[in-house]
Amino acid sequence: MPRKTTKKLIDKKGVRVDGRKPNELRSIMIKAGVIENADGSAYIEQGRNKILVGVYGPREVHPRHLTQLDRALLRCRYHMAPFSVDERKSPAPSRREQELSKVITWAIEPSVFTDRFPRTSLDVFIEVLEANGGTRCAAITAASVALADAGIPMRDLVAACAAGKVGGQLVLDLMDVEDKMGDADLPVALLPSLNVITLLQMDGELSADEFEKALNLAINGCQQIHMIQREALKTRHIAVKQAVEE
Amino acid sequence: MPTFFEDKQLVMPGDLLAEGGYAAGENAYKEDEKVFSAQLGLVDFEEKTIHVVALRSFYIPYVGDIVIGKVVDVGFNGWTLDINAPYAAMLKASDVFDRPFKPQRDDLSSIFNIGDLIVAKVVSYSRTRDPLLTISEPSLGKISKGQIVEVTPSKIPRLIGRQGSMISMLKRETGCHITLGQNGLVLVSGKTLEDEQLAIRAIRKVDAEAHTSGLTDRITKMIQKEKGGNESAQKDN
Amino acid sequence: MTSTIIPLVKRKKIAETLPSGKRLDGRGLADYREIKLETGVIGSAEGSARIYLGKTEVLVGIKIDIGEPFSDTPNEGVLTVNAELAPIASPDFEPGPPSKEAIELARVVDRGIRESKAIAVEKLCAVPGEKVFIVFIDVYVLNHDGNLIDASAMAALAALLNTKMFKYVVKDGEIEKKPGYTQLPIRNQPIAVTIGKIDDNLIVDPELDEEHVIDARLTITTKKEENICAIQKGGVGYFTAEEILEAAKIASEKGRELRKLVVKA
């Protein structure tokens, strides 16, 4: 991959293409309880990313043979709408989507007490409606809110955010052009209260020293996002109260 | 031994509730002497035990629970019921017949058919076995009239109230029979549709405001006010 | 894949020796199993390698074809990695379309090669925008005894270093083969090191039984300059930040050893 245009991605004052500072998140809006039919749901906008998550379950496992006797089967399905990117994406799940479904499941499962409802399935459907970089992290962030909204017993929320290197500088929460043209991308998911990491991937190039700094930057981003998740769940609770009182 | 939230305060999964010397109650968990919340809900301190009253929850069966279920399958020697849980429940034919039951002679669907609602009791359930039901007690069996209202299963205790104060008030004030299923389904049956609707509104209000104080009084007032309104409206007709 | 049921006593057994720095098979926590590498094992492939990592056995074959470049990189060759978890390799593998496990394996191997810029793809362009060379890396698992990622990545690198391209000239926009071969242009040597976590212990190169009981794994790929170029966390467990930094250190040290071994093969 050529990464020739890196100079433009961040200027001398450290201002990025969309005007952000290196350690600044995109604007994030999370709303819990957006799909009537689902047992829990959430919507996130992070920059231009728009992602909808619906949780169904715990419910009986289909197909039956996937049933796990000692715990619930957590399945996350990451899927991109055909119109979510510039060039139409085939609706059939790509290899990238299948891998992301798997790593997202791994990122979320440590947060859920799956052993409390064995022999059931918990399905988390993630639909990316508009993608502009960092969708796996935004999806995890929203999925965790949706699970809490569904009343699923959980150890912690999961907040996710990427750090990376763009134009030679470490930055937080990369958008698409920064991811594609930048030097490295490091998505991280954090259980904020327990302070452990459940998703870690990287591509690009980082020295050991840069890696440590980028990891800490991403963790800090996750902690900020955790606050936004909490607000979304609080707002949801207040909204439910008001709706019934009327 | 600090605590980090006040009683009835809203908490999220993972919130540290207290340290040292506290026990984790419902919807809470303990790790290294720390008690954390496992749910979106409201903190409830009971002496040294910390519970979280879930704002949203699903039903997990418990032996002894009275539940309301819907027949979804009539099998060879019993019925399968949907009891609003992740597990299908079983009611055996032998539980219903007081004589030896013969699959070739007895038509099970003539007793309970698909779609029938049944009040039943959970007699066995474990992590590895689906719940088994019984109807062999006086108040149990097929539901023939009334309406079903769905509430959050975790709010059923609030609907019962201290020493049954809430539920007896609801029955008294609305004149309805009310059967609470621990699985979050409530059967309301009254003399008139208006009585039932009033009871359902009151039950929904309890569900929504379960965590607030002085709830029984407020619900009583609401019922009495609406009853007054209904009666005058009926006179006009 | 079928969920393999591991006797609880086995997990306990595997975990309990770790604090003393030893594993059930006698290895230390940071020891790889014995590695044997053979290259040039498939005559019909442009490059190939077979690796034995303990009892894990993986064959990688490389084919080179001519095709169109991607529209956003008209002057570059194309890299494609595919992995087959053939039913021959394990009772848990089933025939059919690639499982998520196979897709993850292929993508992790791909990421290491791509992000380290191991292949000089700009040298694989014959007619800009029209004809470039496609490097197909096919990973074939022949026996699964754990740590397929590291075994596959090493075999892929060994195969790439062993790959010969036919010589050619471009005439009127068409590629014409010439007699003789050249080496596929390789300029970096990515090495993937997978670290498993059991309780608070980190182990490298988990074999199958260990793989079944680890809480989570972390695959860190380093370049020959020892910078990190790819990471993948797998499994339902978690890591602390300290464990991750420790793993990064282990990956760079083990990477150095393994790189020597692969380059020599």
User: What was the pLDDT predicted at A6?
Assistant: 44
Residues in A touching B56 (Cβ below 8 Å): 40, 149-151
Confidence of residue B77 (pLDDT cuts 50, 70, 90): confident
Mean pLDDT computed over C213-220: 96
Chains A and C, touching by 3 or more CB pairs within 8 angstroms? yes
Predicted complex ipTM: 0.89
User: What was the pLDDT predicted at C92?
Assistant: 84
pLDDT tens per residue across span B136-192: 999 899 998 999 999 999 899 999 998 999 999 999 999 999 999 999 999 999 999
pLDDT tens per residue across span B27-68: 999 999 999 999 999 999 988 999 998 988 999 999 999 999
Number of domains in chain C: 1
User: What was the pLDDT predicted at A244?
Assistant: 52
Mean pLDDT computed over B203-229: 87
- How far is the CA of B19 from the CAs of A58, B32, B46, C63, in angstroms? 31, 9, 15, 61
Give me the residues paired with residue A200 across strands.
A188
Confidence of residue A238 (pLDDT cuts 50, 70, 90): confident
Residue written as token pair 């690796």: C51
Give me the residues paired with residue A130 across strands.
A50
Distance in angstroms (rounded) separating the CA atoms of residues A190 and C241: 10
Interchain contact, B58 vs A151, CB within 8 Å: yes
Which of B10, B11, B12, B125 would best serve as a mutation to test chain A binding (most A beta carbons within 10 A)? B12
| Closest Cβ opposite residue A200 in set C227, C229, C231 | C231
Chains B and C, touching by 3 or more CB pairs within 8 angstroms? no
| Closest Cβ opposite residue A156 in set B13, B40, B209 | B13
- Is residue C253 situated within a structural domain? yes
- Is residue A84 situated within a structural domain? yes
Give me the residues paired with residue B37 across strands.
B28
Interchain contact, A201 vs C233, CB within 8 Å: yes
Q: Do domains B10-54 and B66-142 have the same CATH topology?
A: yes
Domain that holds residue C162: 8-264
Mean pLDDT computed over C60-70: 94
Architecture of domain B10-54: Beta Barrel (2.40)
Please tell me the least confidently modeled range out of A125-129, A140-144, B103-107.
B103-107
User: What was the pLDDT predicted at A2?
Assistant: 46
Mean pLDDT computed over C26-37: 96
- Is residue A83 situated within a structural domain? yes
Mean pLDDT computed over A195-218: 97
A162 secondary structure, DSSP code: E
Domain ranges of chain B: 10-54, 66-142, 147-231
Secondary element (H or E) of residue B101: none
Interchain contact, B38 vs A150, CB within 8 Å: no
A155 touches chain C (CB under 8 A): no
Distance in angstroms (rounded) separating the CA atoms of residues C249 and C220: 10
- Is residue C176 situated within a structural domain? yes
Residue C177 backbone phi and psi in degrees, to 5 = -70, 145
CB atoms within 10 A of CB C48: 24
- Is residue A3 situated within a structural domain? no
Residue in chain B lying closest to A148 (CA): B40
Query: Do B162 and B170 meet the contact criterion of CB atoms below 8 Å apart?
Result: no
Number of domains in chain A: 1
Confidence of residue C43 (pLDDT cuts 50, 70, 90): confident
Give me the torsion for CA of C144, C100, C235, C27, rounded to 10°: 10
Give the domain CATH number at A43: 3.30.230.70
Report CA Rg, chain C. Answer: 19
Q: What is the mean pLDDT of chain B?
A: 90
User: What was the pLDDT predicted at B237?
Assistant: 42
- Is residue C3 situated within a structural domain? no
Cβ within 8 Å of C, A 91-120: 95-96, 98-99, 101-103, 105-106, 109-110
- Is residue C102 situated within a structural domain? yes
- Is residue A1 situated within a structural domain? no
Closest Cα partner for A135 from A196, A192, A89?
A89
Yes or no: domain B66-142 corresponds to CATH 3.30.465.10: no
Report DSSP letters for chain C, one per residue: ---PPPPHHHHHHHHHTGGGTB-TTS-BTTPPPPEEEEES--TTSSEEEEEEETTEEEEEEEEEEEEPPPTT-TTS-EEEEEEEE-GGG-TT--SSSPPHHHHHHHHHHHHHHHHTT-B-GGGGEEETTTEEEEEEEEEEEEE-SS-HHHHHHHHHHHHHHT-EEEEEEEETTEEEEEEEEEE--B----EEEEEEEETTEEEES--HHHHHH-SEEEEEEE-TTS-EEEEEEESS--B-HHHHHHHHHHHHHHHHHHHHHHHH-
Residue A170 backbone phi and psi in degrees, to 5 = -75, 135
- Is residue C53 situated within a structural domain? yes
Three-state secondary structure call for residue A130: strand
B38 touches chain A (CB under 8 A): yes
Chain C closest CA to A34's CA: distance in Å? 28
User: What was the pLDDT predicted at C13?
Assistant: 87
Chain B closest CA to A43's CA: distance in Å? 18
Residues in A touching C76 (Cβ below 8 Å): 2
Mean pLDDT computed over A155-180: 96
Neighbour subunits, B (≥3 Cβ pairs < 8 A): A
User: What was the pLDDT predicted at A3?
Assistant: 46
pLDDT tens per residue across span A18-30: 999 999 999 999 9
The answer on pLDDT for C1 being more than 70 is no
Which of A223, A230, A242 would best serve as a mutation to test chain B binding (most B beta carbons within 10 A)? A230
Neighbour subunits, C (≥3 Cβ pairs < 8 A): A
Q: Which amino acid is at B68?
A: I
- How far is the CA of B74 from the CAs of B67, B95, B100, in angstroms? 19, 14, 18
User: What was the pLDDT predicted at C144?
Assistant: 95
Domain that holds residue A196: 14-245
- How far is the CA of C26 from the CAs of A42, A228, C19, in angstroms? 49, 49, 13
Three-state secondary structure call for residue A204: strand
| Closest Cβ opposite residue B56 in set A113, A150, A155 | A150
Residue written as token pair 């020599």: C264
Between A and C, how many residue pairs show a Cβ–Cβ distance under 8 A? 99
Helix-helix angle B165-174:B215-236, to 10 degrees: 10
The answer on pLDDT for C117 being more than 90 is yes
What tokens appear for A72 in the block? 């619930």
| Closest Cβ opposite residue A201 in set C232, C248, C252 | C232
Between A and B, how many residue pairs show a Cβ–Cβ distance under 8 A? 89
Q: What is the mean pLDDT of chain C?
A: 93
Confidence of residue B208 (pLDDT cuts 50, 70, 90): confident
A186 touches chain C (CB under 8 A): yes
The answer on pLDDT for B221 being more than 70 is yes
- HSE-CB at B33 with a 13 A cutoff on CA atoms is 5
Which of A35, A39, A111, A156 would best serve as a mutation to test chain B binding (most B beta carbons within 10 A)? A156
Mean pLDDT computed over B193-205: 93
| Closest Cβ opposite residue C100 in set A1, A98, A197 | A98
Secondary element (H or E) of residue B97: none
The answer on pLDDT for A173 being more than 90 is yes
User: What was the pLDDT predicted at B231?
Assistant: 55
Give the domain CATH number at C251: 3.30.230.70
pLDDT tens per residue across span C151-195: 999 999 999 999 999 899 999 888 888 899 999 999 999 999 999
Please tell me the least confidently modeled range out of A19-33, A107-121, B206-220, C38-52.
B206-220
pLDDT tens per residue across span A77-99: 999 998 899 888 888 899 999 99
The domain B147-231 is placed in CATH, from the list 3.30.565.10, 3.30.559.10, 3.30.1370.10, 3.30.450.20, at 3.30.1370.10
Interchain contact, A151 vs B128, CB within 8 Å: no
Mean pLDDT computed over B1-25: 90
Distance in angstroms (rounded) separating the CA atoms of residues B80 and B82: 7
